[in-house]
Structure 1
């Protein structure tokens, strides 16, 4: 029996097709990939707790936004070295073993941080040192893990696997910072770090159950020659090289996260909870865009998709700067803005801007991950993934220096407003100068 037609004048609501939703086929096709995905998601959630807690901890100890920015900056050079070295290790040895050893170092640094907090032994320098160790070891884990994915799945499922990674990022950055803000506010730093230790153990579950995964093709032992070979390949790989450059631009000029503790404390009010909410907003956007990522996996012109997504990202960051400018002029502000009396209207507007930026960055990430995994041969995939991790993780640290320095000498609203406009202009110019990038075809991937 057919359904009755809708009454006259009542519009028929569009139905959401299952084709619009995320493709879960990779989880069904490869149990090994599914276990690794679950483990990395839980461990990443704990890692985000610690990242936000350390930022808040540093701001509490120093009251200085620049000191918070320096957490990211201090780890930049060690993280670059670790990412490159991790990529070389992944191209020379069993990638599962490489990831396990690095994960053990990450776990140990988090455990030590919790011990220091429980005994009130933490200092500014301990926070810097353990942040550097944690981020460096995690770079090696990521380089090895990302090199493993194309060995577990066929090429046609790589876009769906990248979208699932967006779900991971969405969960860990959406729940992690918000939970960190609440835990720090109501229980303190020690409990926050301890929860990360518990969640971090899930990483071992995902990695221990993997089979041994050795690189295919000619093996070059880690060292200068191995690095040269990887860089030589990148010089010939115009599409991969340009997407790295575009991401560096986006992360350098569009990363206001290091400003959020000060924004929550002095500009929008709400303190740690506002910091957690705004940081989580980025992940909300990433999560929602991954949930509805079905059509993204069917787009063939992935270079054009990267360009458009990053430009939307820049526009969202510029809009976030405008919201902060309104706060600086007292728009919608209560009589006094502080930790207990936040500017709720502008916090909501700022959260929307950051959610859009998170969605756009996630769409770009799906295309960029797929391009690297599909177009790069397995023999050099670890080294390219190492460079990719350096770009993805190093860009925000350079961005933290840009934002922290500019905010120190200007105002909190100025770095995101200027940076967003710079992103839109530079990305459009570089892609226009490299038309081959716009015509990249996912069915015929060329590096």
Structure 2
């Protein structure tokens, strides 16, 4: 019995960061508002497909979001290193909230203008970019260094829960209430995240303050370019998302294989985060992995292979189950990548590191949306879906093991702070 209890403690979720009031409030607010964000993400994809009847148009949501994500993610990270991070988080939140209200008004009006939807999605990405980069830089300021990995696991777990509940809620809401109701629910839930940001303490910058601007951004990029471990943590994630992310194909798969069911669409959208939630609950081992470069390479290869297998599965439950396995691998990958950045760089660089991290994490899937939509239009649904997953697995194994510093990286060894 003692052995079983010891084993359970080793894999159980580390909840110690929840004892910190500021972090706990931020986590809960983020979790509640993220449900609404995911609800809107699914609703927008469904609405664009309903207006156009084309996966290519759904895929175009990717680049439309990517441009502001890159610009304002990098800019927001630079600003986060030079001003009160609480105030910047509030600013980004207001911009994103405004975009949600614009989607609501458009849905109520019945315009069905795909160009207007794309424009509002771009505005939403501006707010998301600023607030996400800032939030990532805040964590190491309110959580002790030894608990950052546990805090990141909790962050990704709560986001994954939102990514499950949001799409499942979307399946019900879109079937019974339509797009306007989905956007209204998002606007209401968003208030929880805004309240959490309001209650944060003042978070003035520490260390040397660099004036935000192009030079500051370039300094951050130069820092990444001279640290192979940090650089590779971005490269492997871009490979994973750009080549294997299948979400732009969910509406088409639901239409062709499951009779256009909104509930099936919701389950497909929830499949990956379901796996992330299950992995997060049993994530105590994640923080004890030392060879994180090798581990990142292997779990991303698993992600690619399971995504490829899902393309050929026929029953809905099997497609969702395979996507869930990929989501479990993605949870471990995300925690390791985020922790490397937050503990490797000094505080005066963390905003810029989180800006680039956010650009890669949010921009990679959008590149994947474009790739998936374009290749599905050219070659068909299954070749586009499965081919991307297989290519991801091959590329990440070759790239990850080719860089010696990344392959030998030991997370328990001393990490440079500059």
**TM-based fold match above 0.5:** yes
Equivalent in the alignment of 1:23: 14
Aligned equivalent of 2:180: 190
Displacement of 1:439: 2.3
Is residue 62–residue 368 contact of structure 2 (8 Å, CA) maintained in 1? Answer: no
Kept after mapping to 2: 8 A contact 1:440/1:446? no
Q: Aligned to 2:410, what secondary structure does the other structure show? A: coil
Asked if the contact 1:80/1:394 (under 8 Å) is kept, the reply is yes
Tell me how far apart the structure 2 counterparts of residues 106 and 238 of structure 1 sit (CA, whole Å): 34
Q: Distance in 2 between matches of 1:420 and 1:65?
A: 18
* Residues 297, 401 of structure 2: 8 Å contact kept: no
**Which position in structure 1 is the counterpart of 2:237?**
247
The yes-or-no answer on 1:423 pairing with 2:392 is yes
Of 194, 199, 205, the residue aligned with 2:195 is 205
Task: Determine which structure has more spread, i.e. the larger CA radius of gyration.
Answer: 1
1:158 and 2:148 are equivalent in the alignment: yes
Contact 2:376–2:385 (Cα < 8 Å) also in 1:
no
Gaps of 5+ in 2: none
Q: Give the distance between the partners of 2:272 and 2:399, measured in 1 at CA.
A: 26
Alignment partner of 1:84 out of 74, 81, 86:
74
In structure 2, what is the Cα distance between the partners aligned to 1:435 and 1:424? 19
Asked if the contact 1:371/1:445 (under 8 Å) is kept, the reply is no
Which shifted more, 262-271 or 364-373? 262-271
- Unaligned 5+ segments in structure 1 are 3-11, 328-345
Instruction: Please tell me whether the aligned partners of residues 102 and 138 of structure 1 are also in contact (alpha carbons under 8 angstroms).
Output: yes
User: TM-score with structure 2 length normalisation?
Assistant: 0.96
Alignment RMSD? 1.7
TM superposition shift of 1:446 = 4.2
Cα displacement (A) at 1:215:
2.0
Runs of at least 4 residues off by over 4 Å: 12-16
State the partner residue of 1:397.
Answer: 366
Q: How does 1:374-393 map to 2 (within 5 A)?
A: 374-393=343-362
Partner Cα distance (2:400, 2:50) in 1:
43
**1:333 is matched with which residue?**
none
- SS in structure 2 of the partner of residue 351 of structure 1: helix
Question: Within 5 A, what are the aligned runs for 1:87-126?
Answer: 87-126=77-116
| Partner Cα distance (1:130, 1:16) in 2 | 49
For residues 361 and 136 of structure 1, the distance between their equivalents in structure 2, rounded to whole angstroms, comes to 25
Task: Give distance in 2, aligned partners of 1:72 and 1:401.
Answer: 6
The 5 Å alignment of 1:54-65 reads 54-65=44-55
Q: Kindly indicate whether the alpha-carbon contact (under 8 Å) linking 1:239 and 1:446 is maintained by their aligned counterparts in 2.
A: no
Displacement of 1:174 after TM fit?
0.3
**Relative to 1, partners in 2 of residues 1:383 and 1:283: Cα closer, same or farther, differing over 3 Å?**
same
Q: Could you tell me which of 380, 390, 412 is aligned with 2:381?
A: 412
SS at match of 1:49: helix
Q: Secondary structure at the match of 1:219?
A: coil
Cα distance, 1:268 vs. partner?
3.4
Q: State how far apart, in whole Å, the 2-side matches of 1:398 and 1:41 are.
A: 25
Taking a change above 3 Å as real, the CA distance of residues 442 and 180 of structure 1, as seen in their structure-2 partners, is same
**1:257 match:** 247
Alignment counterpart, residue 129 of structure 1, candidates 119, 138, 142:
119
> For residue 40 of structure 2, what is the aligned residue in structure 1?
50
Contact 1:252 1:402 in 2 (8 A): yes
Structure with the larger helix share: 2
**Secondary structure in 2 aligned to 1:440?**
coil
Other structure's SS at 1:413 match: helix
- CA apart distance, 1:315: 1.2
Question: 1:313 and 2:283 equivalent?
Answer: no
Structure 1 residue aligned with 2:160 = 170
Q: What's the secondary structure of 2:381's corresponding residue?
A: coil
* Partner Cα separation in structure 2 for residue 116 and residue 412 of structure 1: 30
